[in-house]
Chain A
Amino acid sequence: GAVVSQHPSRVICKSGTSVKIECRSLDFQATTMFWYRQFPKQSLMLMATSNEGSKATYEQGVEKDKFLINHASLTLSTLTVTSAHPEDSSFYICSARGVRVDRGNSPLHFGNGTRLTVT
């Protein structure tokens, strides 16, 4: 089945530094990738949507200058948390959708998430 690889799985950084998270679709081309964030005991919340070759679309309340998203190829999207603060500590999850006309009939494939801890 389709595989999405997310790296790193866990990262600890100091307040004020930046962290980059990579999301790769290993065996399919992903025209669209989604970035979610999940706080403890809560559900996944969409942060932004990235389409290959164009600017990301951010959800309301998500700072685009703080969470930089790059989707430079059909198999790679990156999320950079800039000037991280303790409140950015969370579980970040990417997902990818392959090229398909009927999106309703196409599952989303998820990475295994990145646990970010900002000290």
Chain B
Amino acid sequence: DAKTTQPNSMESNEEEPVHLPCNHSTISGTDYIHWYRQLPSQGPEYVIHGLTSNVNNRMASLAIAEDRKSSTLILHRATLRDAAVYYCILNSRGGGGSQGNLIFGKGTKLSVKP
């Protein structure tokens, strides 16, 4: 399974944009790039996903490099409630893991300062 690499932690100031990077140099053509986040003591929450084109939704934007070997999750205005661990995960049409599950790395712990 193609792996992703993320920084262990990042800090941001409240109401400023946050760019969370992810490297996935071994991505295959059928891999979608998914982002989830996990707030303390909660299950992961879906944020956004994309294949080739940049994507926007009410939570965030996803910028995908032209060669698809990296991507960036963009939170346009960080709030204190955005403090969480953010996971970048590759999910193929076959479903990621051998059983279609998502394989979680360590993610990036985002801290937001008031």
Chain A: residues with CB nearer than 8 A to chain B? 4, 6, 32, 34, 36, 43-46, 49, 57, 91, 93-95, 97, 102-105, 107-113, 115
Contacts and interface: CB of A to CB of B under 8 A. Distances in A.
A32 B93 CA distance: 15
A105 B100 contact: no
Given A93-B44, A110-B45, A113-B43, A46 B91 contact: no
Given A104-B31, A104-B32, A113-B43, A34 B101 contact: yes
Contacts, number: 77
Contact of B43 (A32, A105, A107, A111): A111
B17 interface: no
B107 A107 contact: no
B105 A108 contact: no
A103 B91 contact: yes
A117 B58 CA distance: 36
Interface residues of B, number: 30
Interface string B23-44: 0000000111010100001111
- Of A44, A94, A95, the most chain B CB neighbours within 10 A belong to A44
B68 interface: no
